[in-house]
């Protein structure tokens, strides 16, 4: 039996939406997603991409960690390796490494990206900064029009108001630490480039 806890993103999304008094259509207008897409996520029929989670978080005025959160108002948070909350989003595994502090300003994740994933043209922007540390494999990060290739031990820190996206640049899985820090932790925006 696994001790991993997988968050129910669909149920969390529905709860957050209803707490704010949003209908599906209101949320769809606020985040730029279709009514059907949100409904399918809530019913567990569709897994949102990281970019979609950013859109939903911004519209709901919550940090992206709200979709992984099972505690709040803490002053100290310890997450044991076997107790990390994780989610599989379109083949990408995101594990929350810490959430629940009062006035939390960072959102740390361990991300596992299979080969041939990412760099879809769907870019993300949000306030604050983003820090990445490649643990294994090859990771490509595109910021604006520049691509940065990271290998194990390489790190990247950048102003996250710039459109950015990531992808796996190797033949095997890429694992990396990803930390978001926002001036306003809830300020996320997604820009889709054609």
Whether 9 and 52 have beta carbons less than 8 Å apart is answered as no
What is residue 6's predicted lDDT score, i.e. its pLDDT?
Answer: 57
- What does CATH list as the number for 1-194? 2.60.120.10
- The whole-chain average pLDDT of the chain stands at 82
- What element of type H or E holds 70? none
From CA 84, how far away is CA 18, in angstroms rounded? 26
SS3 153: coil
Whether 160 and 128 have beta carbons less than 8 Å apart is answered as yes
b/e string for 125-140 if b means 16 or more Cβ within 10 A?
A: bbbbbbbbbbeebbbb
From CA 84, how far away is CA 80, in angstroms rounded? 6
What is residue 190's predicted lDDT score, i.e. its pLDDT?
Answer: 34
Residue ranges per structural domain of the chain:
1-194
Residue-wise pLDDT for 36-45, tens only, equals: 989 988 888 8
Residue-wise pLDDT for 91-137, tens only, equals: 888 898 987 777 778 889 999 999 988 777 788 887 789 999 999 99
Q: What is the mean pLDDT of the segment spanning 63-89?
A: 75
- Whole-structure pTM over 0.85, yes or no? no
């Amino acid at each position: 039996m696994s001790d991993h806890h997988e968050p129910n993103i669909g149920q969390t999304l529905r709860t957050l939406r209803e707490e704010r008094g949003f209908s599906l259509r209101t949320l769809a207008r606020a985040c730029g997603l279709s009514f059907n897409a949100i409904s399918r996520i809530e019913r567990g029929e569709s897994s949102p991409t990281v970019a979609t989670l950013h859109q939903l978080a911004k519209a709901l005025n919550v940090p992206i960690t709200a979709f992984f959160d099972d505690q709040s108002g803490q002053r100290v948070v310890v997450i044991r390796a076997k107790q990390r909350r994780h989610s599989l989003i379109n083949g990408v595994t995101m594990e929350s490494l810490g959430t629940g502090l009062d006035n939390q300003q960072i959102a740390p994740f361990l991300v596992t990206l299979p080969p041939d994933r990412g760099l879809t043209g769907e870019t993300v922007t949000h306030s604050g900064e983003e820090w990445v540390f490649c643990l294994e494999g090859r990771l490509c990060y595109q910021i604006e029009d520049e691509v940065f290739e990271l290998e194990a031990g390489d790190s990247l820190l950048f102003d996250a108001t710039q459109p950015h996206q990531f992808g796996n640049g190797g033949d095997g899985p890429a694992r990396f630490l990803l930390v978001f820090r926002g001036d306003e932790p809830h300020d996320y925006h997604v820009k889709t480039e054609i």
